[in-house]
Amino acid sequence: MQKFAGIFGLFIICFAMGYSFLRYTTDPSQINRDPAAVRTNFDFSHLTGEKLQEAAKQRLVTGFEIRKNTEGTGIGLGHFVFMDAHGDKKLACQEFGKVTLTFEAEGMSVAGDKPSMELEGRCEFSPDMTKINPLYLPVAKILNEKPGDGEFQFNEGHAITVRFTNLPEEWPKSWLLKSVRLSNDNSNEGIVVQSDEVARYLGHPLVLTF
């Protein structure tokens, strides 16, 4: 009986050690990254050329999600699967590491130029892979700063860079989305959705208010 208990105890110890090894040597970023797990209606691997571009742009925009709280606003996008140049299925954020959203202030201009705001952050998808995680704009912190052209970097949670140009003496309150871009740091290639396409896919322009 004691021999059996010893063997059983040894088994438990080995199992625990094996589990711990797997847990700590598995890269969490590799979990749930299988493109096949994305719902079929967001899988564009059967499309190429202009049809792929059209489907990708529409998915990015129709998946728009705006989350507001007392500190700021999070802006999310739709996510999708496509076939890369090598014939491999890829998640959009696996191919394109950067998201850039460009806005233009409504009803204002400085020396004939409209104020602009650019948000830039990493392309990271949600656990169910159907959404690109929101870029979080800390509006309260920005409004506490004096308006002026320049760049802000925020590293709380997901890092984001915000750039302003042609700002007036007061912060604009309404910002029209002018473009959405997925891109890579090492390539000029990417997917760009312009403001007229945003309005066409959504049925209306997208305006962000501070």
- Give the C-alpha separation, 18 to 5, whole Å: 20
State yes or no: pLDDT of 101 exceeds 90: yes
Q: What is the pLDDT of residue 96?
A: 95
Q: Would you kindly state where each structural domain of the chain is located, as residue ranges?
A: 32-209
Amino acid letter, 178 = K
**pLDDT: which is higher, 181 or 33:** 181
Q: What are phi and psi of 62, to 5 degrees?
A: -70, -15
54-58 contacts: CB < 8 A, separation 24 or more? Answer: 55/80, 56/80, 56/82, 56/92, 56/191, 57/191, 57/193, 57/197, 57/201, 58/201
Residue-wise pLDDT tens digits, 38-83: 556 799 999 999 999 999 999 999 999 999 988 899 999 999 999 9
Q: Is the pLDDT of residue 7 over 60?
A: no
The model's pLDDT over 131-158, given as tens digits with 9 standing for 90+, comes to 999 999 999 999 999 999 999 999 877 8
